[in-house]
Chains A and B, each alone.
Chain A
Amino acid sequence: MSHRKPRHARGVSRRLCLAFALVFGTSCADERIPIYIGVAGPMTSRMLADHRHGAELAVDEANARGGINGRPLAILRGDDSGRAVSAVTVAANFVQDQRVVAVAGHMSSGAMLAAAQLYDGRLAAVATMATSPELTNVSPWVFRIASSDAALAKDLARFALSRKWLRIAVLYQNDAYGRALSTAFTKAFEASGGEVVTIDALESQQGRFMEFGVFIRTYFTRRPDAIVLVTDPLIGMRFLRETSASKLHIPIIGSDGWPVDPFAADPAADGVYIPSSFLDDSRDTVASRFRVKFKARFGHEPDMFAATSYDAMLAIIAAIRSAGTDRTRVRDALASMQTAPVQGVTGPISFSAGDRVQRIGGLVRIENGMGKTYLRWKDALPAP
Chain B
Amino acid sequence: MLAPHRSNPGSESVAIVAAVPTTHPGLTAAPATIRGRFQLAATALALALLIPAMSGWWTMHALATRAQSAVQKAIAAQRLSASFVAAAMETAHTGQGYVLTPSPKLEREFHQKGQEAHDIAQALSHDVTASADVVSVVARLNQQLADLESHLARAHRHVDLAEYAPARHELEVSAPFQAAMLRSVGQLGNAEARHLAAATDAMQYATRYQGFVFITVFAIAAIVGTLIARWLSRTVARPLTRLVAHASAIADRKGDAHTPVDSVPGEFAALANAMNEASESLVRVASAEEIANKNQRLALIGRIVSGVAHELNNPLHTILLTIGLLQEDAADPVLRRELDAMRVQAARAREIVRDLLAAARPSVGLREVVPADSIVRRAETELTRLAAMHKAHLTIELPSYSLPNIEADRDDLTRLLGILVSNAAYASGAGGSVVMRADADEEGCCIVVEDQGSGLTDEVLSRLFEPFFTTKPVGEGSGLGLTVAQGIAEGHRGAIVAENRTDGNGARFIVRIPRAVPRPAAPLKAPRAVPAQTPDAATALAHAPAPEHDGKPRALVVDDEPSVRKVLTRILMRAGWRVDEASDGAAGFEFIDAAVRAGDDYAMILSDLRMPTMSGIELHDNLAEQHPATLRHLTITSGDLASPDVAEFVRRTSCTVMEKPLDIKELLRVATVAETRQRELLPNVTP
Contact = CB atoms under 8 A, between A and B. Distances in A.
Nearest to A132: B122
A85 B166 contact: no
Contact of A203 (B118, B150, B160): B150
A201 B108 contact: no
B157 A174 contact: no
Size range of the chain A interface in the assembly:
20 to 34
Contacts of B125: 84, 110, 114
A215 B111 CA distance: 16
Interface string B105-129: 0011001001100100010011010
Contacts of A134: 122
Nearest to B160: A218
Contacts of B158: 214
Contacts of A221: 160-161
B107 A114 contact: no
B128 A117 contact: yes
Given A118-B128, A201-B149, A85 B135 contact: yes
B76 to A, nearest CB: 14
A20 B27 CA distance: 40
A204 B111 CA distance: 15
A113 to B, nearest CB: 5
A201 B114 contact: yes
A295 interface: no
A103 to B, nearest CB: 17
A199 B104 CA distance: 10
A203 B128 contact: no
Contacts of A175: 146
Most buried by B among A175, A198, A214, A217: A214
Contacts of A88: 128
B128 A214 contact: no
Contact of B153 (A85, A113, A183, A201): A201
A161 interface: no
A134 B127 CA distance: 13
A261 interface: no
Given A174-B146, A179-B115, A215 B157 contact: yes
Contacts of B118: 174, 176, 179
Given A85-B132, A114-B128, A201-B114, A217 B161 contact: yes
Contacts of B37: none
A284 interface: no
Given A117-B128, A214-B163, A199 B107 contact: yes
Nearest to B167: A214
B23 interface: no
Interface string B132-162: 1001000000010011011001100110110
Nearest to B122: A176
A134 B122 CA distance: 10
A117 to B, nearest CB: 6
Q: Is the interface of B mostly helix, strand, loop or mixed?
A: helix
A93 to B, nearest CB: 14
Contacts of A215: 157
Nearest to A114: B126
A214 B157 contact: yes
Contacts of B128: 88, 114, 117-118
Interface in A182-201: 183, 198-201
Given A88-B128, A176-B122, A199-B111, A204 B147 contact: yes
Contacts of A200: 153, 157
Nearest to A200: B153
Contacts of A84: 125-126
Most buried by B among A84, A175, A201, A202: A201
A215 B158 CA distance: 9
A174 B158 CA distance: 19
Contact of A201 (B122, B135, B146): B146
A214 B147 contact: no
Contacts of B126: 84, 110, 113-114, 117
A203 B146 contact: yes
Interface in A210-228: 211, 214-215, 217-218, 221
B122 A214 contact: no
B72 to A, nearest CB: 15
B135 A214 contact: no
A84 B115 CA distance: 20
Contacts of B160: 218, 221
B161 A204 contact: no
Contacts of B122: 110, 134, 176
Contacts of A214: 154, 157-158, 161, 163, 166
Q: Which 3 A-B pairs have the closest CB atoms?
A: A174-B146, A204-B146, A214-B157
6 contacts: A114-B128, A183-B115, A199-B111, A204-B146, A214-B158, A215-B157
Given A201-B114, A221-B161, 19 more contacts: A84-B125, A85-B132, A110-B122, A110-B125, A113-B126, A117-B126, A174-B114, A174-B147, A176-B118, A199-B108, A201-B149, A201-B153, A203-B147, A204-B143, A204-B150, A214-B157, A215-B157, A218-B160, A218-B161
Interface of A: 84-85, 88, 110, 113-114, 117-118, 134, 174-176, 179, 183, 198-205, 211, 214-215, 217-218, 221
